């Protein structure tokens, strides 16, 4: 990406079920759901929103092999999306194991997302 216009940061948590993809989706949604970029289209090549580039960096605490990047990508409606997955985030206790929530243990998964938008 030659021109970074915005960098948005978000955090997502899966309290029960130990699902790293769910936490990553929530982190990306947290980063992008509080923003509107009405002027972005005017600077994109051919003024086409599909020419936007989106780089998502995910700091993931565990189970990177279970991270479904296509499910995360589906939450980003426009642009050419790329991912970088790094060590980070947090594993912490949720304080309780809930069998009906598919808990294997009491861990809550916290993922941090940095979403870069530009062209």
SS3 content of the chain, % helix, strand, coil (to 5): 30, 35, 35
Q: Residue 28: which of 85, 103, 108 has the closest Cα?
A: 85
Position 78 scores a pLDDT of: 92
Residue 80 sits in a domain whose CATH number is 3.30.1330.20
CB atoms closer than 10 angstroms to residue 78: 15
Q: Give Cα 104 to chain centroid, integer Å.
A: 23
pTM: 0.93
**Total structural domains in the chain?**
1
Position 35 scores a pLDDT of: 85
Reported as a single tens digit per residue, the pLDDT across 39-91 is: 889 999 999 999 999 999 999 999 999 999 999 999 998 999 999 999 999 99
3-state secondary structure 65-88: HHCCHHHHHCCCCCCEEEEEEEEC
Q: Does 37 have pLDDT greater than 90?
A: no
Position 34 scores a pLDDT of: 87
């Amino acid at each position: 990406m030659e021109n970074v216009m915005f960098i948005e940061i978000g955090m997502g948590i899966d309290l029960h079920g130990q699902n790293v993809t769910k936490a990553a989706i929530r982190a990306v949604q947290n980063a992008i759901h509080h923003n509107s970029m009405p002027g972005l289209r005017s600077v994109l090549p051919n003024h086409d929103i599909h020419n936007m580039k989106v780089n998502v960096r995910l700091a993931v605490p565990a189970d990177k092999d279970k991270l479904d990047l296509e499910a995360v990508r589906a939450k980003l409606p426009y642009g050419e999306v790329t991912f970088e997955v790094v060590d980070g985030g947090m594993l912490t206790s949720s304080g309780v194991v809930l069998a009906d929530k598919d808990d294997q243990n009491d861990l809550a998964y916290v993922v941090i997302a940095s979403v870069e938008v530009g062209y």
